[in-house]
Structure 1
Amino acid sequence: MGRRSDHTRDELEELILAAGHALMAEQGFARFSAREVAKRIGYSVGTVYNVFGSADALVLAINTRTFGLWADHLRAALAVAGDDRIRALVEAYFAFAGDHPNLWTAIYDHRLPVGMAMPDSDAEIRGALTGIVSAEVASALGEPADGRAAILARSLIATVHGHCAFALTGSFAVMGEERPMEAALARVNESLAAALQHR
């Protein structure tokens, strides 16, 4: 039987989120279950739905937590980076995905149901990652972090993401690419060099 009064609502939210995040890290999105989260914390699945509203809302919150950890990982890498901050950024992107493959892929495997909007608080946390990249791209170009630098940053994220996804799934290995991170970095540097030439 579930423990109906052991925790406040805020404590329950954190308990569920922590357990859900751990389960996602262990089993991935395809095997994720709100019922298993409830079982791990000793509450009924109804309690999970009462706190988060739905399984989709719980997964959204889990993925937002992953975004926050990912952004922290990039900041930590940049804090000790040498002169080549772009390399540090790309390496950190690959490292986080490689260290947390289930959490990383869950971000992209989950789709919000039609009609379900992402809360502003979640969007802000997720947007921090793009903001970090935009700031580094802007610095490399010697331009403000909005406008052209922000547009280029989004394209470069897509480039690095594609290389990273191919590396994690083994697609690059099948294609004979043995250094996907270096390939991604090369494409990023080429794009930055081209942007500098066309200022």
Structure 2
Amino acid sequence: MAGVQKAKSEETHRRILEAAVALMEEGGLNAVQIRAVAAKAGYSVGSVYKHYADIDALIIAVNAITLSQIRDAMTAATEGLTDPVARLKALAHTYLDFARANVNLWRGLFDHHLAGAREIPEEHRQENIALLAFIGQEIKTLEPAMDDAALAARTRTCFAAVHGLVTISLEDRFIGLSEDTLPVEMDFLVDRLAGR
């Protein structure tokens, strides 16, 4: 009996999270509301709260899936590449491609903020660090003498530069780049960040 209840609870949890992901994909962060998730999943509001303490916990779970998808795409994109600059370019282009193909999920990562002094859960922080490690390992290969503090700063700088280029272009800002120009300029940016 306990096994049946556990399986039922896991199925409910899965369907609630799938509904939240679908709402984020369809309508962005503002579409992910407890009532909307409950309705889409076919459960009561109480069922959603049984599995997620509040809307922030649910959005963090959706964002964890997004981070996992980006990580999987980056892993696939760098398979077989040995040159660190080629790997950095593959990472940058993969990030751009993911953002273009999944705009609402991607924006959800950056548009969601916890209220007050609430801290991001450690597990979620580690998922972010794991993504940055893709960049960090290539920078370390290019500059093996760099200490950990400098490596952490350079990794964040490189991510911020690529993220900024992607963000400005996807938001159709007047200084953003066209769809045709963006990949070429992405390579230019990565070359300069890599010291080439």
Q: TM-score, normalised by structure 2?
A: 0.86
Match of 2:169 in 1: 167
Are the aligned partners of 1:130 and 1:154 in contact in 2 as well (CA < 8 Å)?
Answer: yes
Structure 2 vs 1, CA of residues 175 and 133 (structure 1 numbering), >3 Å: closer, same or farther?
A: same
| 1:16 maps onto 2:11 in alignment | no
> What SS does structure 1 have at the residue aligned with 2:76?
helix
Q: Distance in 1 between matches of 2:37 and 2:7?
A: 16
Deviation at 1:102, TM superposition (A): 0.5
Distance 1:175 1:122, change over 3 A: closer
Q: How far apart, CA to CA, are the structure 2 residues paired with 1:185 and 1:33?
A: 39
| 1:59 alignment counterpart | 59
Q: Deviations over 1:105-140 (max 9, x none)?
A: 011111011132222222222221011111122123
The one-letter code matched in structure 2 to 1:28 is G
Give the secondary structure class of the aligned counterpart of 2:148.
coil
1:143, distance to aligned residue in structure 2 (A): 4.4
| Structure-1 separation of matches of 2:176 and 2:41 | 45
**More deviation, 12-21/134-143:** 134-143
Matches of residues 90-109 of structure 1 in structure 2 within 5 Å? 90-109=92-111
Q: CA, structure 1 residues 143+25, in 2 after alignment: closer, same or farther (shift >3 Å)?
A: farther
* 2:101 equivalent to 1:89: no
1:33 counterpart letter in structure 2: Q
Name the residue aligned to 1:197.
Answer: none
| Structure 2 match to 1:125 | 127
1:166 is displaced (CA, Å) by 1.0
The amino acid of 1:114's aligned partner reads G
1:38 equivalenced with 2:24 (yes/no)? no
Q: How far off its partner does 1:144 sit?
A: 6.2
Residues 13 and 51, structure 1, Cα contact 8 Å, conserved in 2:
yes
Note closer, same or farther for the CA distance 1:85–1:119 as it changes in structure 2 (3 Å cut). Answer: same
Matches of 1:12 and 1:41, distance apart in 2: 8
Higher mean C-alpha displacement, 181-190 vs 11-20:
181-190
2:77 maps to a residue whose letter is A
Aligned pairs, how many? 188
Greater Cα offset, 74-83 or 14-23: 74-83
8 A Cα contact 1:90 1:181, kept in partner? no
Question: How far apart, in 1, do the equivalents of 2:176 and 2:92 lie?
Answer: 21
TM-score by length of 1: 0.84
Paired AA for residue 114 in structure 2? L
Shift of residue 82, structure 1, vs aligned partner: 6.3
Unaligned stretches of 5+ residues in structure 2 = none
**RMSD (Å) for aligned C-alpha atoms:** 2.2
Secondary structure class of the residue paired with 1:58: helix
Tell me: CA distance 1:53–1:88, structure 2 relative to 1, closer, same or farther (3 Å).
same
1:154 CA drift (Å): 0.6
